């Protein structure tokens, strides 16, 4: 997934603006030009990360939002009530911020809008300079491309490859494979597991490179019989396991 510098974000940081920057794939909340929160439909929020891990009960999160959300002090309420330690909340929130910002900064086709004065109900935790967030987003994009340079696997429903079942995987990868049913996208899998979306993408691309996971194959339309010599399948349609077998066969023949 490619990420790009947002000219508007650069300008808002220079202005020390406060408000919310809304983009195609998410939103960035700023206070005095620094990013204090980020959210994206592609990334589990702080609530999912805290509750799915068992650190916080869902009803306690709901109670914090009900009691402190209108004042934009949910984070402070969680700490002051002793439900989450301050350092623990800060680390978890930073993880959620960088996770969502990676998707929010992805290039999009729609307009970028900024609403001055808007604050998020989670409240202040720890601000991060905009340039740090952008630099980290670009680093993450390069890392994903180095693992498997086909970003289609990031957003499409994924399924286990039928070609390779004997390879050993880590417990984290196995949990992901168990949910790769051809219906769930990596984002849906991340929410189900309660893991950051970017970490899930790393494992998805590693598994794709190993030939263990693939984009769900669409049923082929019935066609007239075709001579073998006329078959020309585009490289993009070949799954990774087949490519690995072709490579191994070529190497064996040398």
pLDDT tens sequence for the chain (254 residues): 555 568 999 999 999 999 999 999 999 999 999 999 999 999 999 999 999 888 899 999 999 999 999 999 999 999 999 999 999 999 999 999 999 999 999 988 678 999 999 999 999 899 999 999 999 999 999 999 999 999 999 999 999 988 656 678 899 999 999 999 999 999 999 999 999 999 999 999 999 999 999 997 665 444 444 333 333 343 333 344 444 444 444 445 44
Q: What is the model's pTM?
A: 0.81
Contacts 24+ apart (CB under 8 A), 86-89: 88/55, 89/125
Q: How far apart are CA 23 and CA 130, in angstroms?
A: 15
Q: How far apart are CA 213 and CA 182, in angstroms?
A: 10
∠ CA 135-137-138, nearest 5°, is 65
- Class (C level, CATH) for 152-218+231-253: alpha beta
């Amino acid at each position: 997934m490619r990420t790009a510098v947002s000219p508007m974000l650069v300008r808002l940081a220079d202005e020390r603006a406060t408000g919310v920057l809304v983009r195609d794939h998410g939103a960035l909340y700023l206070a005095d030009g620094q990013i204090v929160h980020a959210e994206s439909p592609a990334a589990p929020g702080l609530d999912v990360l805290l509750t799915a891990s068992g650190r916080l009960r869902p009803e306690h999160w709901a109670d914090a939002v009900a009691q402190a959300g209108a004042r934009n002090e949910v984070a402070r309420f969680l700490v002051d009530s002793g439900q989450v330690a301050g350092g623990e909340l800060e680390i978890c929130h930073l993880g959620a911020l960088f996770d969502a910002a990676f998707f929010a900064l992805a290039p999009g086709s729609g307009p970028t809008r900024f609403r001055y004065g808007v604050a998020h109900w989670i409240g202040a935790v720890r601000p991060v300079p905009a340039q740090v967030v952008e630099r980290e987003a670009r680093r993450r994009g390069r890392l994903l491309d180095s693992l498997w340079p086909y970003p289609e696997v990031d957003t499409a429903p994924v399924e286990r490859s039928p070609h390779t079942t004997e390879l050993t995987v880590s417990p984290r990868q196995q949990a992901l494979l168990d949910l790769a049913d051809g219906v769930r996208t990596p984002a849906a899998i991340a929410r189900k597991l309660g893991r950051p979306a970017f970490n899930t993408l790393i494992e998805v691309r590693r598994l794709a490179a190993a030939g263990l996971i693939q984009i769900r194959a669409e049923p082929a339309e019935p066609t007239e019989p075709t001579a073998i010599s006329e078959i020309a399948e585009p490289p993009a349609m070949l799954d990774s396991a087949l490519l690995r077998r072709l490579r191994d066969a070529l190497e064996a023949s040398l």
